[in-house]
Structure 1
Amino acid sequence: MSVSAHQSLGWPDAADAPLELRSTKTSPYGRKARIAALVLGLADGIAERPADTRDPGDDLRQQNPLGKMPCLIVEGQALYDSRVILEYLDAVAGGGRLFPRDGLARFRCLTRACLADGITDAALLVAYEGRFRRADQMSDIWLTHQRGKIERGLSALAADLPDPRVTDAAAIALACALGYLDWRQPVQDWRGRYPTIAAWLAAFAAAEPAFDMTKAPT
């Protein structure tokens, strides 16, 4: 893409003003943004700065009033959440790579991505129940409710998996959701219960190097 085209989209010269991604290496949503940047060839122009959502002194809360990550700073302006960031990066790269440009295919991709993000949301809420509450405060009703979302989402996706050879927004969102399920294990043995999805993830990881490149450090 030409310099003028970058400027028309608000994309600064990386040498003078690199973009800043506020996230952590363990955030599944931050991982979506990092995969997208690698896939689109934009990673070298993005500086990563850790964020702490629990720290009231972290300026993430000024950048995103919700105090959530990831947050992409573009010429002093904050873009959030991960879906918006992926749309922006796709536009900067010329468009049509992470999202179909138009038609029903675009909205099917968006819907699949939202479903995958919903699985991640529910998994995070299960993890937070253990992280922010004492054992005597935890709600089995709440945990069952969130796990039901995960399981229904996986069942729906098992019947309508994206092409693992195509790295679009839906595939990125699903891969990051599954990676988070592997790490936090909010449901038991998702791989054994949904073998077609486990096989999909293996195929996606084999086709897309950015997935393994963005694994959280152990």
Structure 2
Amino acid sequence: MALQLYSHPYAAYGQKASVALYELGLPFELRLVDANDEASMAAFREVSPFGKMPVLVDGERRLVESSIAIEYLDGLAGGGRLIPADPDAALEARLIDRIVDIYIGGPMNRIIPRKFRPAGNEDPYGDAQDEAVLASGWDWLEDRLSDGRTWGAGETFTLADCCAAPILTYARRLVPFGDRPLLKAWHRRLMARPSFVRALEDAAPFGDLMPAPPARDD
């Protein structure tokens, strides 16, 4: 049975997992999570204990949390690619992944739902707090990239880049990169990576679902 990925092509963490699948050349079936389709949601709730995307299914194994799913996928593909074989390099890849997930993806996923609140229910204080965390995340990444590395954790494309490609792409529409040339250059490389290009092509039929204008700071 083929691997199954329960997600939506536009979901950042789903794209993170699909980038890994494309990068490793592992065939998979996308099980579309459609909030407007009760049958789709019923199937999703059976595999997702927290109702969060993505969920990777391999036979009887169900893996929640995109980072864990990618570690598993890397092992299926022989290991040592998205999770480097060298312990120090693997630690750096996991570190960048965690920073991007928590300090970039976290604020992003709090700001976006607030944009859909009815008028009169805005939270400008919460938005300001989360935007400040995002800006600090950009600063941290700019400093980390100052050693001249090509990709997020070094000279090879890893878990760190699977994570960063979608999350940076969407979060910069909330808080632009600004004057951070290394961060911008890394993001340009991510945008050109064939595995991420494919993930974006999967999402294209659904239109632009991000409730913020495209960034204008390139």
Class of the TM-score when normalised by the shorter of the 2 chains: 0.7 to 0.9
Q: 1:144 to 1:53 in 2, by over 3 A?
A: farther
Q: Pick from 10, 15, 19 the counterpart of residue 3 of structure 2.
A: 19
Match of 1:174 in 2: 164
Relative to the length of structure 2, the TM-score reads 0.81
Q: Pick from 171, 178, 183 the counterpart of residue 197 of structure 1.
A: 183
1:122 and 2:107 matched: yes
Relative to the length of structure 1, the TM-score reads 0.81
Match of 2:29 in 1: 47
CA deviation profile, 1:62-86 (whole Å, cap 9, x unmatched): 2111100000111133211101110
Q: Which runs of 5 or more residues in structure 2 are unaligned?
A: 208-218
Q: Which runs of 5 or more residues in structure 1 are unaligned?
A: 1-16
Identity %: 29
Q: Pick from 119, 126, 129 the counterpart of residue 135 of structure 1.
A: 119
- Taking the aligned partners of 1:53 and 1:193, their CA distance within structure 2 comes to 38
CA deviation profile, 1:94-131 (whole Å, cap 9, x unmatched): 11101123523222211111111121221121001112
Q: 1:76 to 1:103 in 2, by over 3 A?
A: closer
Q: Retained in 2: the 8 A contact 1:120–1:180?
A: no
Match of 2:17 in 1: 33
How far does residue 54 in structure 1 lie from its aligned partner after superposition?
7.8
Match of 2:174 in 1: 186
Q: Which amino acid aligns with 1:114?
A: R
- 4+ runs deviating over 3 angstroms: 52-57
Q: Pick from 152, 170, 175 the counterpart of residue 136 of structure 2.
A: 152
RMSD: 1.9
- Taking the aligned partners of 1:108 and 1:199, their CA distance within structure 2 comes to 19
Q: 1:147 to 1:53 in 2, by over 3 A?
A: farther
- Taking the aligned partners of 2:8 and 2:164, their CA distance within structure 1 comes to 19
Q: Which amino acid aligns with 2:132?
A: G
Q: Retained in 1: the 8 A contact 2:138–2:177?
A: no
User: Comparing both chains, which one has the higher relative contact order based on Cα–Cα distances under 8 Å and sequence gaps of 6 or more?
Assistant: 2
- Taking the aligned partners of 2:38 and 2:101, their CA distance within structure 1 comes to 26
